[in-house]
Structure 1
Amino acid sequence: MMGFECNTGNYVIEKMLTEDDPYISQLEAIYLEAFPPSETIPFRTILKKFEKLKERIYYCRKENEVIAIALIAIFEDPSFLLLDYFALKKEWRGKGIGTAFLRHLVQYSNEQDPNLLLVAEVEDPEYGEKKNLKMRRIQFYQQVGMNVLQNVVYFLPPLNEKEVKYEYEINPEVFTHLKLLVVSSKSLEDFSPVIVKSIIVKLYTIHYKLKNYSAVLQMILENVPNSLIFI
């Protein structure tokens, strides 16, 4: 158990150990409130991943109220963690709690794994509406030490499509254009295009199980540059 103090009080950070966790209903409520159906999988699926040691679940609480959650997916070969979902209750936003929570998680993960590579996906402000909101999200992750992989083009089809029989035409109306962000205990100079491609393949095929998008995946991989730019 970890914790931190800020001007709104003392907060506890806990790692969920079993599905009998007393705060499980609050975790699910925050998850369902924070994300639209097109961006989520059923919460029971997350619990199945947790059972199989494929997902870590952390939460931040003040006394008996859960304030924020962080769901972290675990991958091997290459070894990396994905910040799968991160959410703060609406009424607690803008108080510095989310930043403190995530910063402590990054620090804790670094201490637990000297070869840490943590990856996050954030919507690209260059596409679609709410550009200022998307930019603020990127700045939020930068505040905790994450670096934007600036020159890698990456996007995902809608995740709520159950039976896709064809390759979608690539356009902003159908695909979500994203930026990849990374933080590593090693130098970013060791973060090569080969690793980037391996991570993207894992995300498409293992994490999102996008079986109908081989041509799209190939296009993304072919456009990963030989020299990476971080901001």
Structure 2
Amino acid sequence: MMNMELITIAHWDDKLWRSIEPVYREAFPSGAKPEGILRSMLDRGIAHIHAGLIDGQAVAMAVTGIVNGAEGKRLIIDYLAVSRELRGRGAGTVFLDLILDWAKQTNNVLGVIIEAESGSSETHAQRIHFWEKNGFILTPYVHQYIWVPEPYQAMLKPLEQSAQVEDNGESLFRYINNFHKKAYRPSSK
């Protein structure tokens, strides 16, 4: 078992960001939220940044948000990345488990939602396999955003039996879209 430490912040920390930024940029060379947006999301209390450290070295990072709905709280995983040298060695699962424990214990989250690119490439298949291997259920609904070319599908991991998908997955995008709207809304400062 890999010994990984989880650090979770709700307020911007330049030092922590600089340690995880290389993992973020390596995993998301395009399509990543700019630092200013991430900083604003934390400043407005709509997101958390998580760092996975092994022997004090940042090896994983995630950006998450908690959203409320009629069915209870859900954790949106906006980004999750593991350093290239640790991919395929269980680090992603260890890191994800730490985040899920944090979400259940500190926020009483009932389910976790992610959106995965809905493509036919080997990379897309590997990403979906990772999430499915970790208990996420791929929904059939394919969502097309107007501002990005690739389509997406939502995946849900129920943490409580009450957190189920009652439709084809379209309802999960209400959570996702609500989170994205808040992320890109200008700060009222």
* Structure-1-length-normalised TM-score: 0.68
Structure label with greater radius of gyration: 1
CA distance in 1, matches of 2:106, 2:56: 27
1:153 match: 142
Q: Which runs of 5+ in 1 are unaligned?
A: 160-174, 210-231
- The corresponding residue for 2:13 is 20
1:54 aligns to 2:27 (yes or no):
no
1:153 partner SS: strand
- Residues 158, 176 of structure 1: 8 Å contact kept: no
Contact 2:49/2:64 (8 A) holds in 1: yes
Q: Does 1:187 align with 2:179?
A: no
C-alpha distance in 2 between matches for 1:80 and 1:105 = 13
- SS class of match (1:193): coil
3-state SS in 2 of match to 1:141: helix
2:125 maps to which of 118, 122, 135: 135
Unaligned runs of 5+ in 2: 183-189
| Whole-Å separation in 2 of the counterparts to 1:178 and 1:20 | 31
Tell me how far apart the structure 1 counterparts of residues 103 and 109 of structure 2 sit (CA, whole Å): 10
8 A Cα contact 1:81 1:117, kept in partner:
yes
User: Structure 1 residue aligned with 2:23, among 30, 50, 68?
Assistant: 30
C-alpha separation in 2, matches of 1:189 and 1:85? 21
Secondary structure of the corresponding residue to residue 22 of structure 1 = helix
1:11/1:60 contact within 8 Å kept? yes
Once the two structures are superposed, residues 148-177 of structure 1 have per-residue CA deviations (whole angstroms, 9 ceiling, x without a partner) of: 11x212222344xxxxxxxxxxxxxxx312
Deviation at 1:46, TM superposition (A): 0.7
Are residues 152 and 60 of structure 1, via their aligned partners in 2, closer, same or farther at CA, if it must alter by over 3 Å?
Answer: same
Tell whether 2:95 aligns with 1:101: yes
- In the TM superposition, residue 65 of structure 1 has moved relative to its aligned partner by 1.3
CA distance in 1, matches of 2:12, 2:164: 37
Counterparts of 1:87 and 1:200, CA distance in 2: 21
Whole-Å separation in 1 of the counterparts to 2:62 and 2:56:
17
Q: Partners of 2:126 and 2:12 in 1: how far apart?
A: 34
Which structure has more RCO (C-alpha within 8 Å, separation ≥ 6)? Answer: 2
What residue is the counterpart of 1:123 in the other structure?
Answer: 117
Matches within 5 A, 1:208-219: 208=181
Aligned mates of 1:23, 1:90 — CA distance in 2: 19
Q: Identity over the aligned pairs, expressed in percent?
A: 21
- The alignment partner of 2:69 has SS state of coil
Instruction: Flag the 1:115–1:81 CA change in 2: closer, same or farther, 3 A.
Output: closer
Q: Report the alpha carbon displacement of residue 17 of structure 1 after superposing the two structures with TM.
A: 4.5
SS of the aligned residue for 1:19 comes to coil
| Residues 45 and 85 of structure 1: CA distance in aligned 2, closer, same or farther (over 3 Å) | same
Which residue identity does 2:28 align to in structure 1? F
Shift of 1:50: 0.8
User: What is the one-letter code of the residue matched to 1:136?
Assistant: Q
